[in-house]
Amino acid sequence: MRKKVTVIGAGNVGASCAQYLAESNLCDVVIFDIIEDMPQGKALDLMQAAPVRGYDVTITGTNDYKDTAGSDLVVITAGMPRKPGMSREDLLNSNIKIMDSVMEGITKNCPNTMILVVSNPLDVMTYRAWSKSGLAKNMVFGQAGVLDSIRMRTFIAMELNCSVTETQAMVLGGHGDSMVPLPRYTTVGGIAVTELIDKDRLDAIVQRTRGGGGEIVKLLKSGSAYYAPAAATVKMANAVLNDRKTLLAASAYCDGQYGLKDVYVGVPVVLGANGVEKVIELKLDDSELGELQKSATVYKEIIDGLAK
């Protein structure tokens, strides 16, 4: 029997997630949205693309949480998108209400699923989803560092005029302006990027990575990125559904790792069939560790200020 993934939210990110999931033949897909008939229309459109695109899965659109029952994984993309000049944190008040509503529907209809959060502000929303889910901490995680890392990989490939597939990057911390790109753990063809790019240019790439989402928001002028976030999400779904034990950066619950407690933030993890199977503690220097702890503090303060 094929796995089942529900995507909550049929906007640009959610629809792109559904498309990439279908095209990878990973699972059957349910697209949920509160807008009447919209997810049904997108699901039917995707089904009609299957004969040409070569996937053979079932895609269902729904406005009823009952259709999410039996999901192996729920991907939450629902929420207000960022607008020009708006930070991820500005989205908090609107999106926390949306997350609470989503979790009510999910916990009632598929209480044993895993949850992958994409909604912003990402780390706070992931904590909120876990706190409302009743699930073990390892079963709820957020898509953060994967997206930030592939953005950094893209900028490095552009700088060196090399294949992006030869690049690897590691970006930790919150999914926002306080994220912590790690050039020491970033390579091209196995060679440390610090050996290939001058410090000034590398610093510029780090800053562009931090502002990667905002750059796209400014260019689009309405809405935010969706192709890369969806691609990063499906990479994580693949790790879970196929038990790949993939080492990547994700927003995961920290219980003492890196000196962090009771907070979701981007850290290296092993992701597999049991969700976050291990948090990897890299050997960070004092500056890197300080930046990571400072980034986590931003979200810890927000979490502590939320009504339960």
Q: Where in the chain is the domain with CATH 3.90.110.10?
A: 145-305
Report angle CA 142, 148, 153 to the nearest 5 degrees.
140
Listing DSSP states for 238-264 in one string gives: HHHHTT--EEEEEEEEEESGGG-EEEE
Provide the CATH topology of domain 145-305: L-2-Hydroxyisocaproate Dehydrogenase; Chain A, domain 2 (3.90.110)
Tokens of 236: 């994580």
Q: Provide the pLDDT confidence category of residue 186 given band limits of 50, 70 and 90.
A: very high
Q: Which residues pair with 279 in a beta bridge?
A: 269
Q: 1-40 pLDDT, tens per residue?
A: 899 999 999 999 999 999 999 999 999 999 999 999 999 9
The answer to whether residues 30 and 6 touch, using CB atoms and an 8 Å cutoff, is yes
**Helix, strand, or coil (residue 123):** helix
Q: Where in the chain is the domain with CATH 3.40.50.720?
A: 3-142
The answer to whether residues 26 and 237 touch, using CB atoms and an 8 Å cutoff, is yes
Q: Provide the pLDDT confidence category of residue 175 given band limits of 50, 70 and 90.
A: confident
Tokens of 154: 């893209």
Provide the CATH topology of domain 3-142: Rossmann fold (3.40.50)
Q: 70-127 pLDDT, tens per residue?
A: 999 999 999 887 666 766 567 788 899 999 999 999 999 999 999 999 998 899 999 9
* Secondary structure element (H or E) that encloses residue 164, with its range: none
The answer to whether residues 232 and 146 touch, using CB atoms and an 8 Å cutoff, is yes
pLDDT at 1: 83
**Helix, strand, or coil (residue 64):** coil
pLDDT at 86: 66
Please give the positions annotated as active site.
175
**Helix, strand, or coil (residue 75):** strand
Q: 194-230 pLDDT, tens per residue?
A: 999 999 999 999 999 999 999 999 999 888 899 999 9
